[in-house]
Structure 1
């Protein structure tokens, strides 16, 4: 089995079309077809079925794709590690992050790191909470910013940097807009703008509301924080958001108000794999962000 065969197989599986895969690989269609046929012959199974001009993975083809992608990631990672051992300051960092940390934390940290290591590149991958955990476990990324930091996932190691308060965001003309703080129960009759069910921020808000004896009335759901802020700004509802998402971008016509009861916060940090050693450049970044937030915490005290 050759590396080229695996690369051709993955490209055909991704595009479900041999000709398009050949164009993407800059080789002749006959070369791709021949390598796929050789691979199927060696494995003794059909990896694709033909549907007109398209191809589809067979059940066994899907199994092989999962392992082939993982194998290719490991080969790419091995090349990366060799290059980085020769010069850690010229490597590349695969970094995952959630949308709630994209506007302030992520660019702040990367900017500070690049000031010290200007030749290290980044491959950024945004994802939801559980997807980020899976990405670290599966090797798609090696480090992921995350909030809250999981404590019950045995395959990853978490490091907490700080605690991020959850605050209310209300339209500026809301009757409660002048309050210095709010009890969450004061919002029980309001229409909420929240992330969809399944998102960790939705669950955090829902749990807090249940703690105060009510079910939030969700008028709008959205996966984009800026869209949620915009809906609140136009008076279509209220929301609860991590305070860090409002540091530089509290919209006009809204007010940010602390929640006095119950106390709401989430941990913010990173996760790395427990059973894989970080490549040199990523170890540099991991060590850097630990020192970066440690200094910030000391300054804030």
Structure 2
């Protein structure tokens, strides 16, 4: 069994297609098929069901996939550690960030980083806080950025450090019955209609904690809509779907334009965290970016 065979196996498993996996790896279809066949011969076990032109993982293949990914992740870490040099002339950094940070915090800072280190390429993907932690744990990203607090930060292999703070605001549409209110009671908050991010979102986790701090049980809330993006939540609230809590960074333009009204609710500030795998070697590129992001 070789690393190349594992890479081919993972590529085929993720695409459920030998030809597309071969194309992604710049291999011939016969080379990809041969690697899969070699693995199956070595273990005398079928890794894929072959039905017509389609393929799907067998039970053994599904078990093998997680282990193959882990081996490739460790191999990539070993390669990066061996290739790392004293300078930052060249390199690559994979980042995964939750939506608020990716859209409103990181861009300006990543531009500054690229000016300082033009040889370092940056690849940023976006997910909710749970997605970010999962990507770090599986080695799909070296650095992650999430909002906190929240249960998503509690993980045996993940180390987190605060890098900034964010102000949360409770908002409604300009014509909402609460828009002109100077105060709201816990009972009124509990009886309101809410639009929230999906489960796993750091913003949602902070919302639940904030409401508990105001004396409102999450189970008592009327959640009308759950949406997977801050922009979708914002649009729904502007359209009159209900109230929500979002980062001030997300709402500031809509508030200034008169489309949203900020409610007089004192909410706790939340922290932004940089997260990384505590057992993996940190590259110089990651260390340099963290140094730029840490509060001065």
TM-score range, shorter chain: 0.7 to 0.9
Query: Greater CA deviation, 214-223 or 199-208?
Result: 199-208
CA distance in 1, matches of 2:186, 2:163: 26
Tell me the alpha carbon deviations over residues 37-63 of structure 1, each in whole angstroms, 9 at most, x when there is no partner. Answer: 222222232212211112222211122
Classify 1:13/1:198 alpha carbon distance in 2 versus 1 (closer, same or farther; 3 Å): closer
Classify 1:252/1:80 alpha carbon distance in 2 versus 1 (closer, same or farther; 3 Å): farther
Match of 2:53 in 1: 53
Match of 1:167 in 2: 169
Q: How many residues align?
A: 290
Match of 1:196 in 2: 198
Match of 1:153 in 2: 155
Judge conservation of contact 1:83–1:91 (CA < 8 Å) in 2.
no
Deviation of 1:285 (Å) = 0.9
Classify 1:204/1:90 alpha carbon distance in 2 versus 1 (closer, same or farther; 3 Å): same
Q: Does residue 294 of structure 2 align to residue 287 of structure 1?
A: no
Q: Does residue 261 of structure 2 align to residue 255 of structure 1?
A: yes
Tell me the alpha carbon deviations over residues 246-268 of structure 1, each in whole angstroms, 9 at most, x when there is no partner. Answer: 345646511223413xx433221
Tell me the alpha carbon deviations over residues 83-132 of structure 1, each in whole angstroms, 9 at most, x when there is no partner. Answer: 44264242111111111222211112212222322221111121222221
Match of 2:222 in 1: 217
Judge conservation of contact 2:88–2:284 (CA < 8 Å) in 1.
yes
Classify 1:161/1:28 alpha carbon distance in 2 versus 1 (closer, same or farther; 3 Å): closer
Match of 1:126 in 2: 126
CA distance in 2, matches of 1:31, 1:175: 65
The alignment's C-alpha RMSD in Å is 2.6
Tell me the alpha carbon deviations over residues 146-199 of structure 1, each in whole angstroms, 9 at most, x when there is no partner. Answer: 110566433222111333232111112334434566555543332211123453
CA distance in 2, matches of 1:197, 1:111: 31
CA distance in 2, matches of 1:238, 1:53: 50
Give structure 1 stretches of 5+ with no counterpart: 296-301
Match of 2:247 in 1: 242
Query: Greater CA deviation, 35-44 or 221-230?
Result: 35-44
Q: Does residue 278 of structure 2 align to residue 265 of structure 1?
A: no
Match of 2:104 in 1: 104
Give structure 2 stretches of 5+ with no counterpart: none
Query: Greater CA deviation, 95-104 or 27-36?
Result: 27-36
Query: Greater CA deviation, 242-251 or 57-66?
Result: 242-251
TM-score of the aligned structures, taking structure 2 as reference length = 0.85
Classify 1:184/1:166 alpha carbon distance in 2 versus 1 (closer, same or farther; 3 Å): farther
TM-score of the aligned structures, taking structure 1 as reference length = 0.84
Classify 1:284/1:197 alpha carbon distance in 2 versus 1 (closer, same or farther; 3 Å): closer
Deviation of 1:3 (Å) = 2.9
Query: Greater CA deviation, 266-275 or 170-179?
Result: 170-179
Classify 1:85/1:180 alpha carbon distance in 2 versus 1 (closer, same or farther; 3 Å): farther
Match of 1:299 in 2: none
Match of 1:63 in 2: 63
Deviation of 1:222 (Å) = 0.8
Judge conservation of contact 1:172–1:253 (CA < 8 Å) in 2.
yes
Classify 1:240/1:149 alpha carbon distance in 2 versus 1 (closer, same or farther; 3 Å): closer
CA distance in 2, matches of 1:288, 1:119: 16
Judge conservation of contact 1:209–1:216 (CA < 8 Å) in 2.
no
